A and B are shown apart, each in its own frame.
Chain A
């Protein structure tokens, strides 16, 4: 049985951004030696997402724009108050809501040492509150 857990860092460069992390996930699988199993990818932050969609720049823009319509930064949020846990005001409720809608993880099967995914499926780390240095975890389980 192989279980390999790797924490990776990604630097977002804009306030909102979709970053293709598919090659990094494939690299972790290859390095794990796993032939048959499962890979799970999860963001470590509650104002970001880990989601899968077709890897096209137009879709990246559409997804971010649509989430911004659903969760506008100008909304009336209870989160806008002093948060002792951070030592500052929380005013990124919109980013948290987008994270909830986008989801925080994805899983793929591994077969013959490769990730089993559709040709157009791309794994994105999605930033809603950048620019920030972020972390996500890739865990490979199998044999």
Chain B
């Protein structure tokens, strides 16, 4: 089983005594819990049967003057644990972003790209800033995990998943993952998943209530569960957004939705493995 969306912002071994990193975690990423040893991350995965986790940084150099982890730090963490799948982040404002992505994939062995239009302050459909980065990701055959939906950062307008329609159309070989299922735009997300073979979404949406309450509100409330079971199960990957939410609580929430074992297998494992180039697509 794979968690496709985590951020290692509380891992003591990498944040350590770096006061600037602690400040960035508190003031830019808005996570204010105390640091934990790497062992806690492993145990968090163990208690809910998750084998591996995508760990993602965010390069917001132009917008915020900071990186919430560099690609090198992500590679360092991956060297400490074979349970991590490292993603890169590059700043679309930087003309060297495509080359930085290539370096992260080829030299550092990172396996995907994380982008956040709200935090990095760019428009997903920006042909000048964003398209060269998509082009590089497509050529490198790595998936892009795109923050969509509600954000605690300013400018939610830039995170509407509809902004990805043109991107999905223009880059048919690029695998794009709509993070947080694009909540509150879940109908738009569902439409995009139905329409575009190369669009996926993760489950990491939680903005009120308990995880199991929120999951039932979205899948079975806003969207019929039959839609997930019959059509979207091939397009959804499990993501927790840890440490914003404990992985164990999101696993329980998804498991308790009432989906078939086959659908859960796709959501927790097969679809993520496809995105990472480890398995055939579920829908083929």
- Supposing A13-B43, A131-B47 touch, asked if A89 and B208 sit within 8 A by C-beta, the answer is yes
In the complex, whether B206 has a CB less than 8 A from a CB of chain A is: yes
Say whether A89 contacts B40, CB under 8 Å: no
Please name all residues of chain A whose beta carbon is closer than 8 Å to the beta carbon of B47 when the two chains form the complex.
14-15, 130-131
A56 to B47, CA, bound (A): 23
A-B pairs under 8 A by CB, number: 58
In the complex, whether B37 has a CB less than 8 A from a CB of chain A is: yes
Closest partner residue, chain A, to B252 (CB atom): A73
Cβ < 8 Å to A, chain B residues 13-66? 26, 29-33, 36-37, 39-40, 43-44, 46-47
A13 to B32, CA, bound (A): 22
Which of A27-35, A57-65, A79-87, A109-117 forms part of the interface with chain B? A79-87
- Supposing A80-B208, A80-B209, A80-B210 touch, asked if A87 and B40 sit within 8 A by C-beta, the answer is no
Say whether A81 contacts B208, CB under 8 Å: yes
A85 to B26, CA, bound (A): 10
A12 to B46, CA, bound (A): 12
Give the Cβ gap from A91 to chain B, nearest Cβ, in Å: 4
- Supposing A82-B208, A87-B30, A87-B32 touch, asked if A133 and B152 sit within 8 A by C-beta, the answer is no
Please name all residues of chain A whose beta carbon is closer than 8 Å to the beta carbon of B245 when the two chains form the complex.
88-89
Please name all residues of chain A whose beta carbon is closer than 8 Å to the beta carbon of B206 when the two chains form the complex.
89
In the complex, whether A8 has a CB less than 8 A from a CB of chain B is: no
In the complex, whether B244 has a CB less than 8 A from a CB of chain A is: yes
A12 to B39, CA, bound (A): 10
Cβ < 8 Å to B, chain A residues 59-102? 73-74, 80-82, 85-89, 91
Say whether B37 contacts A11, CB under 8 Å: yes
**Told that A88-B33, A131-B44, A131-B46 touch, could you supply 6 new A-B pairs with CB distance under 8 A?**
A13-B43, A74-B212, A87-B30, A89-B208, A89-B210, A131-B47
User: A residues near B, CB below 8 A?
Assistant: 11-15, 73-74, 80-82, 85-89, 91, 130-133
User: B residues near A, CB below 8 A?
Assistant: 26, 29-33, 36-37, 39-40, 43-44, 46-47, 152, 206-213, 243-245, 248-249
Q: Which 9 A-B residue pairings sit nearest by Cβ, starting from the closest? A: A131-B43, A87-B30, A91-B210, A87-B31, A88-B244, A87-B32, A80-B209, A133-B36, A80-B210
